[in-house]
Homo-oligomer: A and B are copies of this chain.
Amino acid sequence: MTRAEDVRAGLRGRVAQVSPAGDHSVAAGRLLRTQGVTAAAGFRAAGIAAGIKASGACDLALVFNEGPDYAAAGVLTRNKVKAAPVLWTQQVLTTGQLRAVILNSGGANACTGPAGFGDTHATAEAVAAALSDWGTETGAIEVAVCSTGLIGDRLPMDTVLAGVTNVVHELHGGLQGGDDAAHAIMTTDTVAKQVALHHQNKWTIGGMAKGAGMLAPSLATMLCVLTTDAAADPAALDRALRRATARTFDRLDVDGSCSTNDTVLLLASGASEIAPPQADLDDAVLRVCDDMCAQLQADAEGVTKRVTVTVAGAASEDDALIAARMIARDSLVKTAIFGSDPNWGRVLAAVGMAPITLDPDQITVSFNGSAVCVAGVGAPGAREVDLSGADIDVAVDLGVGNGQAAIRTTDLSHAYVEENSAYSS
C-alpha cells in the first residue's frame, strides 16, 4: 500500500471509535475525498506556480464565488501575534460577504509590520482588479487573503502580483481547479487534503485544507477553505462554522503550537437554490471539518502513529477536554507511544497535572481497548499490551462524572525532530 492508502485504511478503521467531534448524527449524504472547493456549484478555483517558492512548486491558489450569493464566515487564529493576511481577512469578514479567497504558500507574511500589511492589501486590490478586468466587478473588500510558510519575511511582491493575474486566467469550475488549488497551498504537507459532501437534499459542501505543523488550538489547521452551493446567510454560516471548528479543529493538537496564520473560511454561493435547515447545515459542516481533521492528523509532520486520547467520566466536558489535552501534549506520553511502549504511568502523571476535579484512586486507563490501569493501579499484563500498530487509542475514565471529550494527536518521533530542526522550515 502507498502511504496515502495506508492512512486511509487506518482511518476507515476508526469509524466505530469515538470522534473528537463528539456524538453527532451523520449528515445524510456521500463523502468523497477526490473533490474539494469546486465540488459545490457556483465556485471556480485555480492553483499555479507563481515563483514564490524557490523550488518552483505550486504556490498560489484562488477560490472564486460566482454567486448568486456571496455570504461568508470565518474563524481565525486566537494567537495575539496575527499575520498581516489574518488582520486583513478579519476586516473584510465584517461585511459577511466574500467573492474570492487568494492563498499563497512560500511565506506567512507574519511579523512583517505595516509594510507586510500593505503587501496583503495590495494583493487583495490586484485580485479585485484582475477579476474586474475578467468581467466580474469586484472590490478588494470582497477578497480574503491567506498566507502560509516561514514567519518573518516579506513576500516577493512583484512575483505575487504577476501571479495574481495569471491565477485569475486559470480559474475554472471543474474538479481540476479545486485540485490545483489544494496542491498550491501545501507546505510540508505530503498530500493535498480535500473533501466534499453531497447532501441527499441536492446541495453540496466541499473544501480544502493544508497544515502539518503548528497544529493546535485554537485552530489546528493553518488554512482551510470550505465552499457550499447552499443558500445560507452569513449568520447561519458563522454558527455552523464556529460550532464545527470548536469540536474538530480545536480538538486536533499535534504539537501544542498555534500558528499566526490559522484561517478557516466558509463561502456560500446559493447556486443550488436550496436553503437547508440550520441543523442540516451544522451537521454537514461538522462532518466535513471532522474529516478534514482526520486527514490533517494522518499527514502531520513526523507522524508514525495516529493517536486519539479520550477522557470520560470527568466532572464536565470542559474538564475532560483539559485532561485529554494535557495527555495529548505530554512529551513523555508521545515519545512512549512512538516507541510502542505501553508506559501508562506517564498518562497518569500527565493527567495528574490537569487543573480539574480528580481522584487518583478512581482513574482507569486502557490502550487500544486493553485495561492497563484500574482504580489508579496497574492491571495484570499492562506492560505486554501491543502498541506496534499505527492507530493508538488512549482511553481514560476519571470515574468522577459524565463529562467526555477527545483530542486527536500524534506521536513524537525522530522524524518530527528532524523536520522541525532543519533550517527555517
Give the B-binding residues of A (Cβ under 8 A).
Answer: 78-82, 108, 110-113, 116, 150-153, 213-214, 255-260, 329-332, 335-336, 338-339, 341-346, 348-354, 358, 360-361, 363, 373, 375-378, 382-383, 412-414, 416-418, 420-424
- Per a CB cutoff under 8 Å, which of B79, B260, B335, B424 touches A421? B335
Known interface pairs A213-B332, A341-B423. Does A352 touch B81 (Cβ–Cβ under 8 Å)? yes
User: A375 CA to B342 CA in the complex, in Å?
Assistant: 47
Let me know if B353 and A258 touch, CB within 8 A: yes
Query: How long is the Cα–Cα vector from A336 to B79 in the complex, in angstroms?
Result: 20
CB-CB under 8 A from A257, the residues of chain B are 330-332, 346, 349-350
Which residues from chain B contact A354 at a C-beta distance below 8 Å? 80
In the complex, how many angstroms separate the beta carbon of A334 from the nearest chain B beta carbon? 9
Collect the chain B residues with CB atoms within 8 Å of residue A150's CB: 343, 345
Provided the pairs A214-B332, A255-B331 are in contact, do residues A348 and B111 lie with their beta carbons within 8 angstroms? Answer: yes
Task: Indicate how many identical chains form the complex.
Answer: 2
A420 with B377: CB separation less than 8 A: no
The contact of A151 among B152, B349, B375, by CB within 8 Å, is B349
For the complex of A and B, 3 pairs with smallest distance between CB atoms: A151-B345, A339-B421, A81-B352
Q: Please determine whether B424 and A417 come into contact, CB atoms closer than 8 angstroms.
A: no
* Chain B residue with the shortest CB-CB distance to A420: B335
Shortest Cβ distance from residue A325 to the other chain B in the assembled complex, whole angstroms: 12
Identity of the chain B residue whose Cβ is nearest the Cβ of A411 in the assembled complex: B421
Task: Note all chain B residues with C-beta closer than 8 A to A418.
Answer: 414
Q: How far is the CA of A110 from the CA of B349 in the complex (A)?
A: 9
A18, chain B: closest CB distance, angstroms = 24
- Having A257-B330, A331-B416, A413-B417, one finds 13 other A-B pairs with CB under 8 Å, namely A110-B348, A111-B348, A113-B361, A113-B375, A113-B376, A150-B343, A151-B343, A256-B329, A256-B330, A258-B349, A259-B349, A260-B352, A338-B417
Distance in angstroms between the alpha carbons of A47 and B213 in the assembled complex: 46
Query: How far apart are A359's CB and chain B's nearest CB, in angstroms?
Result: 9
Give 8 pairs: A residue, B residue, CB < 8 Å, sorted on A: A80-B358, A81-B349, A150-B343, A255-B332, A257-B349, A258-B352, A414-B418, A416-B417
The closest CB in chain B to the CB of A352 belongs to: B81
**Is there an interface contact between B79 and A352, defined as CB atoms closer than 8 Å?**
yes
Cross-chain contact B376 with A346 (CB below 8 angstroms): no
Min CB distance A229 to B, Å, is: 36
Q: How far is the CA of A338 from the CA of B412 in the complex (A)?
A: 15
Contacts A256-B329, A332-B213, A377-B111; is A348 near B81 (CB within 8 Å)?
yes
Q: How far is the CA of A342 from the CA of B255 in the complex (A)?
A: 19
Which of the residues B339, B352, B378 comes within 8 Å of A80, measured between beta carbons?
Answer: B352
Q: Report the Cα distance A207→B80, complex, angstroms.
A: 43
Docked CA distance A330–B335 (Å): 16
CA distance in complex: A350, B260 (Å): 9
Tell me the bound Cα distance from A334 to B258 in angstroms.
Answer: 15
Min distance, Cβ A305 to any Cβ of chain B, angstroms: 11
* Known A256-B329, A335-B417, A378-B153: A343·B81 in contact at CB below 8 Å: no
Residue pair A348, B260 in contact (C-beta under 8 Å): yes
Of A258, A349, A414, A422, most buried by chain B (CB within 10 Å of CB) is: A349
Of chain B, the residue at the smallest CB distance from A342 is: B424
Contact of A360 among B82, B108, B382 (CB under 8 A): B82
Q: Which residue of B lies closest to A333 (CB)?
A: B257
